Amino acid sequence: MTTKRTNPDFLNGVPELLILSLLTRRPMYGYELVQAIRRSTDGTLEFGEGCIYPILHRLEADKLLRASRETVGGRSRVVYGVTSRGEKRLAGSAAGWRKIAAAVEQTLQGGEHGEAALA
């Protein structure tokens, strides 16, 4: 396996969705988010800082997140909170995810639209 897979299956857009979801419940800073995602998914999902930070910057630029600097014990933290725009985005994004997830699951179970349950 010399191939480095940089675009793992099923994860496109997932970091952004989780970030918005987690920050809605509680403002957090980047480093904290990385671990919050891991905990929240019981270790199933792990995104590096190189993935999280660019997204935070982008979401802030799009005014979906609001950043505020805090200094705790001499350590500077950038805490992010979700704006009202961000909440709308989250709602739409979560709905999109669920729609796709349902469609995929339906296909996996062999739902061919006209083929009613056989059991």
Partner DNA sequence: TTGCAATACCTTAAGGTTTGATGTATAAAC
Partner DNA sequence: GTTTATACATCAAACCTTAAGGTATTGCAA
Residues at the interface with a copy of itself (CB under 8 A): 7-14, 16-18, 21-22, 25, 37, 39-42, 44-45, 93-94, 96-108, 110-113
Residue 12 sits in the site that holds DNA (CB under 7 A): yes
56 binds DNA (CB under 7 A): yes
Choose the one of a copy of itself, DNA, none that binds residue 42, judging by a C-beta under 5 to 8 angstroms depending on kind.
Answer: a copy of itself
Q: Answer yes or no whether residue 57 interacts with DNA by CB under 7 A.
A: yes
CB of 83 to a copy of itself, least distance (A): 19
Nearer to a copy of itself, 3 or 76 (CB): 3
Does residue 30 belong to the site contacting DNA (CB under 7 A)? Answer: yes
- Three state DSSP letters for the chain: CCCCCCCCCCCCCHHHHHHHHHHHHCCEEHHHHHHHHHHHCCCCCCCCHHHHHHHHHHHHHCCCEEEEEEEECCEEEEEEEECHHHHHHHHHHHHHHHHHHHHHHHHHCCCCCCCCCCC
